[in-house]
């Protein structure tokens, strides 16, 4: 009889003391959440300022009659989808689309195949391997405009070192117009872009190869999986994730390449190397039709987004399986 009220007293006296501790924990958690938000805010603000605003502004410009006059008068009348209609109906649009596709596919396929071959080669231990890998990075480290200017001088029809070397070896009788002929110009530009992109492919694929455990090859060798069979059943399955990321990044980057083409051919000769990127540049900074230039750049963004979505869906499907 004496103990029952005591227990009740103790129970009732403990309840109020638990309440402040829960409140303190709640305040502490809210403080931690606020701290996390404050740490993220600068990065979020930078993303919005450097990426979000230009994308939104570009989208708005593509819906306006934005020309050089706009900078003086401030008037940019809303024209809806007229800019998109104008660029799609332009006589060079279909040619630019085909050239963009050829340039992107040709660059990515050869960059990847050559990069994979070199990555497999460098994955083996040999003398001076580290030095050669370092030298391989030079094309990637050079500014694109420097690379394109250098290759332009190499591919000059009359004074270029390539034609002189081929003539000295007896391979050609007449100088090849690498950059002056519509038949060769696009091939030459693709070749230079391949040269520029190979180091990036080698770097990522080489790092992917280093992540594959050596025990897998030892176990495979016991089952007779060597050479091509080892590559097919061990190397490629473990390298597929890296290859998917590399190819997706390659498409997003290559589809908008501008520096190399401008530095080598400027879109010529006879519009043979015109792409969507060069068309966007010319509409904006030569014709000063910024609305149409913005429309072309938005088409490029849409193409990149399509490939990004396809990549994400493929990756999600692979994870689910």
Span 158-174, mean pLDDT? 91
Is residue 224 in some structural domain? yes
Is residue 294 in some structural domain? yes
Q: How far is CA 222 from the centre of its chain?
A: 40
Q: Is the pLDDT of residue 94 over 90?
A: yes
Is residue 68 in some structural domain? no
Q: Is the pLDDT of residue 241 over 70?
A: yes
Is residue 73 in some structural domain? no
- Say whether both 18 and 165 belong to one domain: no
CATH at residue 164: 1.10.3720.10
- Say whether both 104 and 250 belong to one domain: yes
- Say whether both 154 and 200 belong to one domain: yes
Span 90-106, mean pLDDT? 94
- Say whether both 220 and 115 belong to one domain: yes
Span 140-161, mean pLDDT? 89
Question: Residue 97: its pLDDT value, please?
Answer: 94
SS3 call for 78: strand
- Say whether both 43 and 118 belong to one domain: no
- Say whether both 133 and 218 belong to one domain: yes
Is residue 11 in some structural domain? yes
Is residue 76 in some structural domain? no
How many folded domains does the chain comprise? 2
Question: Residue 25: its pLDDT value, please?
Answer: 62
- Say whether both 173 and 271 belong to one domain: yes
- Say whether both 8 and 108 belong to one domain: no
DSSP alpha helix (H) spans, 48-67: 53-61
DSSP tag of 237: H
> Which position has the higher pLDDT, 121 or 36?
121
Span 214-234, mean pLDDT? 83
- Say whether both 28 and 166 belong to one domain: no
User: Which percentage of the chain shows pLDDT scores above 70?
Assistant: 88
**Which residues neighbour 174 within 8 Å (Cβ) at sequence distance 6 or greater?**
none
pTM, rounded to two decimals: 0.83
Question: Residue 8: its pLDDT value, please?
Answer: 45
Split at pLDDT 50, 70, 90, the class of 90 is very high
Is residue 15 in some structural domain? yes
* Helices and strands in the chain: count of H runs, count of E runs: 16, 0
* Backbone dihedral region for residue 307 (phi beyond 0: left; psi -120 to 50: alpha; all else: beta): alpha
Question: Residue 11: its pLDDT value, please?
Answer: 46
Is residue 112 in some structural domain? yes
Q: Is the pLDDT of residue 194 over 60?
A: yes
Q: Is the pLDDT of residue 24 over 80?
A: no
- Say whether both 44 and 134 belong to one domain: no
DSSP alpha helix (H) spans, 177-213: 185-210
Six token digits for residue 143:
């500014």
Q: Which of 32, 61, 90 lies at the terminal end of a domain, its last residue? A: 61
Q: Is the pLDDT of residue 6 over 50?
A: no
Least confidently predicted of 12-16, 255-259, 261-265, 293-297: 12-16
Q: Which domain holds residue 39?
A: 3-61
For residue 305, the surrounding DSSP H or E stretch is helix 290-320
Question: Residue 283: its pLDDT value, please?
Answer: 92
Question: Residue 26: its pLDDT value, please?
Answer: 60
Q: Is the pLDDT of residue 119 over 50?
A: yes
Split at pLDDT 50, 70, 90, the class of 2 is very low
- Say whether both 113 and 18 belong to one domain: no
- Say whether both 184 and 97 belong to one domain: yes
Question: Residue 10: its pLDDT value, please?
Answer: 46
């Amino acid at each position: 009889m004496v103990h029952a009220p005591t227990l009740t007293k103790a129970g009732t006296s403990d309840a109020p003391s638990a309440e402040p501790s829960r409140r303190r924990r709640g305040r502490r958690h809210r403080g931690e959440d606020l701290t996390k938000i404050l740490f993220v805010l600068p990065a979020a603000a930078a993303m919005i300022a450097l990426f979000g605003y230009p994308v939104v502004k570009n989208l708005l410009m593509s819906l306006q009659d934005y020309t050089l006059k706009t900078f003086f008068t401030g008037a940019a009348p809303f024209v809806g989808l007229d800019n998109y209609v104008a660029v799609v109906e332009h006589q060079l649009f279909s040619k630019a689309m085909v050239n963009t596709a050829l340039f992107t596919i040709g660059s990515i396929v050869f960059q990847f195949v050559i990069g994979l071959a070199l990555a497999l080669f460098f994955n083996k231990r040999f003398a001076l391997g580290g030095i050669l890998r370092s030298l391989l990075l030079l094309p990637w480290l050079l500014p694109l405009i420097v690379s394109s200017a250098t290759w332009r001088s190499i591919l000059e029809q009359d004074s270029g070192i390539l034609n002189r070397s081929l003539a000295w070896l007896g391979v050609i009788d007449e100088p090849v117009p690498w950059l002056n002929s519509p038949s060769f110009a696009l091939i030459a530009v693709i070749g230079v872009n391949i040269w520029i992109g190979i180091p990036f492919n080698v770097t990522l694929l080489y790092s992917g190869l280093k992540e594959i455990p050596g025990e897998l090859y030892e176990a495979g060798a016991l089952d007779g999986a060597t050479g091509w069979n080892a590559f097919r059943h061990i190397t490629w399955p473990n390298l597929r994730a890296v290859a998917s990321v590399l190819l997706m990044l390659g498409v997003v980057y290559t589809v908008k390449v501008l520096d190399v083409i401008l530095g080598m051919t400027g879109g010529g000769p006879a519009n043979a190397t015109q792409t969507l990127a060069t068309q966007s540049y010319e509409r904006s900074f030569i014709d000063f039709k910024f609305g149409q230039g913005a429309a072309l750049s938005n088409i490029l963004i849409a193409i990149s987004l399509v490939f990004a979505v396809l990549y994400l869906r493929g990756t999600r499907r692979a994870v689910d399986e």
